Structure 1
Amino acid sequence: MQQTNTVVETETQLPLGWRERLSPSKLKTIPGRYNLPRMFSHSSKQMRESGPNPARSISALQTSFKITDTFELLRTRKWSVFDVQHLGLAGFTIFSLWIIDPSAPIIKTLAALGYLSLLFMPITRQFFLPSWPIWTYLLYFFSSRFIPYDIRPDILVKVLPALEDILYGVSFSNVLSAWTHPVLDLFAWIPYGLGHFGLPAICSVIMFIFAAPGTLPMFAKSFGWMSVLGVSIQLFFPCTPPWYERLHGLEPAKYGMQGSPAGLARIDALFGIDMYTTSFTTAPVPFGAFPSLHAADAILEALFLTYCFPKLKGFCLFYVCWICWATMYLNHHYAVDLLGGGIIAYSIFAVVRKYWLPIQQPGKYRWEYEYVEVGATKKNKTLDEELGYGPVGVTKRSTELSDEFTVLDSFVHSGSSSGSSSPISSTRSDKSDRRRD
């Protein structure tokens, strides 16, 4: 009998209230947000395939081509103020298609229907819905050349040089571009002519593989909306770049004037090909100096990469300084343009990080995540379906609840292996024996 009492004392070293919390009535009321991996890892095929919200890994990708799945998702979706962004994107897309000349209603309609099909098929929606702002920006930028001149605001020639003198007392662009050399031309061409166009794709691949699920969609949305905002400011606040001051001084500028490749013309001459001369001469927004999207893109990419991979902070800082120097050396932007682009990029990143950006878990790949916390406040929030990852509401599980399930599993397995009764019944018998004593 004494031996039984000893066993009782050993087994009762458990968290207080464990019997009540593991009772059948309590187990039925466990919130779904705790997302215990062991409960989902052995789920049956029927459980995985039944219902509109099957249990699935948060890192899994959609493989369905059924458009009806998207209609079902839209029917059951809980709409929020954040969904107004889709109306804005639709408005920019329709406006861009409408102003393109010549009129081609059939081609424009087919193009719109083609993209809608990509948005409605789950296998393509997960990529083309988060990147919709980027495609809208590209369409908006290239179609802006068709905006009638008579409804555009006047081009500002003296504003940026004046701001440059007020803020810095000198025009950095004119100083840095005064002395050129082929080696410096190549050094400036790498970030400005190559990195600016290729780095967004490289960053996207890195974040897709190594960052938390949901990071890449937020990067794509931030990048696209920042670019749309930048082009809108350039259209409503047109300013001449430094190359205009060098070629025409402070003479009034008029719409219809050609742009200039500025320092990039030396790159074309060096390689003997036309990579930039024609494209910059016929640019859709030749007087879009402010803000600098070259600087804004680099800063936003650096902020996201530094957030996901803090060890890259030194390289990201170097690249931002590198491309900022290149924009002024090639005579494409004033320093105040870089400041404006940096403010826009940081503002967008700060808002996204606070409310929607997934919190990174060091040392994990995308496919190793069991849960994801969203927002800098570390509150339990769900990943939205519009991020492109399907109906997988996942949050951080309770450590206390997980520990109690571990205790329960150990007792169940130990009981079944030894052939003894359950720990609850044995405890009750031990109590009765102690009363008899």
Structure 2
Amino acid sequence: MIRRLRLGAAASAFVAVLIHCRWVLLNGTSVPYRLWTVLFGAFPPFLWTFLFKQAKHIPTEIRPPIHINLLPAANRFLLSPIGVILLTFALLPLARLVYYWSEGDKVKAERGRGRWYAASILLFPFALWATSELGKLEISNALDLFAFGSYGALHFASPIIAGWWIWGFGTQGAACTFGWTLGAQNLAGLATHLVFPNASPWFYDVYGIDAAQPDYTYPGNPAGLVRVDSILGTHIYTKAFGKGPVVFGAIPSLHAATAICCSLFVIRYSKNYRGLIFAWLYCFWMFWATQYLHHHFAIDLLAGTFYSLVSFTLFERVRLRKLDRRHYSEGLTNGWERLWYARRDGENYTPYGERMLARLAGDSASGNGIALSPSISGDSTPVRGTSPPAYRAGGYAAVPSSAAADKEAKGRGSDSFDGTLDDRPGRASVEEAVEDPPRRVASIA
């Protein structure tokens, strides 16, 4: 009898966990809609994979000539002392811009992040040189397997892992935006591979530095991964690269672009310095592995980083900022908060969310952005012991400045929230909340 009771309790607990996980995943939506959001976010990477496979069917008569002299010369200059110094100076404006963007309205304990972001940008040229030098280490089975862990295994799993992490800790809709950011940079990289083909380092290992002009009949080569096949007793990479549809796609490195893209999203949605530490460790590992295995030059990694930064900046400006505003203004939850704390949308207001929303609102005095105020809907009593105060319910409503009021009179402005691609369709936007006069209260700014 006792055994039956224990089995029954275990079965009930298991069913309760399944029901809870279903509630966490759906978050008030239907199963078809949730599947649609997943497929919609994964569409760009799938499209890139399909087009990559079809590249072998492009007629050779219309393909451009293959470059075999440009990258080695450019790589030597990039890694020279003058090249590293020039690249560092070229990154100074970006470092300064990121420093001021990262400061925002952070409290003193968090202000150091902006400095570390700027320092990371300025250290990037030296890190690129360091990975190239370490890529010249003497070949060994241990280093081969270590490089394989990054270049051959984790690279293909990292987008899936990053997507789940962003769903768990990012704002609602950010995981879908991650898929589009990754797909956009990969599609741009594939287009560059096709219109500007270049030989990889393995080409010179096989055919020599004075090799004849190649054509598109040349087979691909797994380079250092052939040693991994030998260690593991397989032929996976030998066959895969030997029949590769894009043999001369050296620049940009999509391995580097993928690592940078994942890191940028992790940095954005992680607290403290954990995201930055992860980015340094993972990207340094990936950059070293690509050069140690002779798949890419350092300049290929620089180009891949550039492609990723451009794609991320575009979607950050166009989509992520709107998603973040809506997430914090409406008190929405992420996957982790629903899973472990059973929080519901509309009840997740914290001091951190208040600071983030104020930062995303911009300077209301200058007419850029919106001023913020605690909403009086529901119980807006502040929680004691929090500074700035956290509100139990209701959230934050937008109070338009004079410039924003003019926009409202003419209709919805360019910063309105359309609600598309978000995990919670049909929820009222911040601007819609403002249209209700009783919700307008004095700004806390």
TM-score (norm 2): 0.59
The one-letter code sitting in structure 2 at the alignment partner of 1:390 is: P
Q: Tell me by how many angstroms 1:174 deviates.
A: 8.7
Q: Tell me by how many angstroms 1:334 deviates.
A: 0.1
CA offsets 1:292-351 (integer angstroms, 9 cap, x no match): 000000000000001001332102211001100000000000000000000111111122
1:226 maps to what in 2? 185
Q: Secondary structure at the match of 2:430?
A: coil
Contact 1:295 1:323 in 2 (8 A): yes
1:285 maps to what in 2? 246
Q: Quote the Cα distance in structure 2 between the aligned partners of 1:298 and 1:289.
A: 16
CA spacing shift, 1:383–1:186, aligned 2, 3 Å = farther
Contact 1:353 1:376 in 2 (8 A): no
Bigger Rg, structure 1 or 2: 1
2:398 maps to what in 1? none
CA offsets 1:93-147 (integer angstroms, 9 cap, x no match): xxxxxxxxxxxxxxxxxxxxxxxxxxxxx45322222222111111111111111
CA spacing shift, 1:199–1:64, aligned 2, 3 Å = closer
Contact 1:133 1:221 in 2 (8 A): yes
Q: Map residues 67-78 of structure 1 onto 2, 5 A cutoff.
A: none
2:314 maps to what in 1? 351
The one-letter code sitting in structure 1 at the alignment partner of 2:279 is: C
- Is residue 187 of structure 1 aligned with residue 146 of structure 2? yes
Contact 2:135 2:289 in 1 (8 A): no
Q: Map residues 188-227 of structure 1 onto 2, 5 A cutoff.
A: 188-227=147-186
1:152 maps to what in 2? 63
1:390 maps to what in 2? 425
- Is residue 260 of structure 1 aligned with residue 221 of structure 2? yes
2:27 maps to what in 1? 60
The one-letter code sitting in structure 1 at the alignment partner of 2:154 is: G
Q: Tell me by how many angstroms 1:375 deviates.
A: 10
Which deviates further from its counterpart, 166-175 or 126-135?
Answer: 166-175
Q: Map residues 226-245 of structure 1 onto 2, 5 A cutoff.
A: 226-245=185-204
Contact 1:298 1:323 in 2 (8 A): yes
The one-letter code sitting in structure 2 at the alignment partner of 1:199 is: S
1:128 maps to what in 2? 39
CA offsets 1:47-70 (integer angstroms, 9 cap, x no match): xxxxxxxxxx998354165xxxxx
2:264 maps to what in 1? 303
Q: Quote the Cα distance in structure 2 between the aligned partners of 1:233 and 1:168.
A: 23
Of 231, 240, 249, which residue of structure 2 is paired with 1:270?
231
Q: Secondary structure at the match of 1:218?
A: helix
Of 335, 342, 347, which residue of structure 1 is paired with 2:305?
342
CA spacing shift, 1:143–1:248, aligned 2, 3 Å = same
Q: Tell me by how many angstroms 1:275 deviates.
A: 2.2
Q: Which has the higher contact order (CA 8 A, sep 6+)?
A: 1
Contact 2:224 2:293 in 1 (8 A): yes
Q: Secondary structure at the match of 1:244?
A: helix
Which deviates further from its counterpart, 167-176 or 146-155?
Answer: 167-176
**Matched positions, count:** 293
CA spacing shift, 1:153–1:184, aligned 2, 3 Å = same
Q: Secondary structure at the match of 2:189?
A: helix
Gaps of 5+ in 1: 1-56, 66-121, 406-437
Q: Map residues 397-436 of structure 1 onto 2, 5 A cutoff.
A: none
CA offsets 1:138-159 (integer angstroms, 9 cap, x no match): 1111111111111100011011
CA offsets 1:175-221 (integer angstroms, 9 cap, x no match): 72462111111111111111100011011111112221011111011
CA spacing shift, 1:345–1:364, aligned 2, 3 Å = same
Of 314, 321, 327, which residue of structure 1 is paired with 2:277?
314
Contact 1:383 1:393 in 2 (8 A): no
CA spacing shift, 1:388–1:140, aligned 2, 3 Å = farther
CA spacing shift, 1:211–1:150, aligned 2, 3 Å = same
Q: Quote the Cα distance in structure 1 between the aligned partners of 2:30 and 2:334.
A: 21
The one-letter code sitting in structure 2 at the alignment partner of 1:356 is: R
Q: Quote the Cα distance in structure 2 between the aligned partners of 1:374 and 1:404.
A: 16
The one-letter code sitting in structure 1 at the alignment partner of 2:241 is: F
Q: Quote the Cα distance in structure 1 between the aligned partners of 2:28 and 2:246.
A: 38
Q: Quote the Cα distance in structure 1 between the aligned partners of 2:422 and 2:52.
A: 24
Q: Secondary structure at the match of 1:385?
A: coil
Contact 2:167 2:174 in 1 (8 A): yes
Q: Quote the Cα distance in structure 2 between the aligned partners of 1:392 and 1:306.
A: 28
CA spacing shift, 1:333–1:402, aligned 2, 3 Å = same
Of 72, 82, 95, which residue of structure 2 is paired with 1:161?
72
Q: Map residues 62-101 of structure 1 onto 2, 5 A cutoff.
A: 62-63=29-30
Q: Quote the Cα distance in structure 2 between the aligned partners of 1:329 and 1:160.
A: 17
Contact 2:172 2:422 in 1 (8 A): no
- Is residue 247 of structure 1 aligned with residue 158 of structure 2? no
The one-letter code sitting in structure 2 at the alignment partner of 1:307 is: R
Q: Identity percentage over the alignment?
A: 27
- Is residue 365 of structure 1 aligned with residue 329 of structure 2? no
The one-letter code sitting in structure 1 at the alignment partner of 2:47 is: T
Of 299, 303, 326, which residue of structure 1 is paired with 2:289?
326
Q: Quote the Cα distance in structure 1 between the aligned partners of 2:31 and 2:292.
A: 50
Q: Tell me by how many angstroms 1:391 deviates.
A: 3.1
Q: Quote the Cα distance in structure 1 between the aligned partners of 2:310 and 2:58.
A: 29
Q: Tell me by how many angstroms 1:374 deviates.
A: 12
TM-score (norm 1): 0.60
Contact 2:417 2:430 in 1 (8 A): yes
Q: Quote the Cα distance in structure 2 between the aligned partners of 1:141 and 1:374.
A: 43
CA spacing shift, 1:387–1:130, aligned 2, 3 Å = farther
Contact 1:354 1:375 in 2 (8 A): no
Q: Secondary structure at the match of 1:196?
A: helix
Q: Quote the Cα distance in structure 2 between the aligned partners of 1:377 and 1:230.
A: 34
Contact 1:149 1:255 in 2 (8 A): yes
CA spacing shift, 1:144–1:62, aligned 2, 3 Å = farther
Q: Quote the Cα distance in structure 1 between the aligned partners of 2:360 and 2:62.
A: 43
CA spacing shift, 1:375–1:127, aligned 2, 3 Å = farther
Contact 1:125 1:388 in 2 (8 A): no
Q: Tell me by how many angstroms 1:393 deviates.
A: 4.6
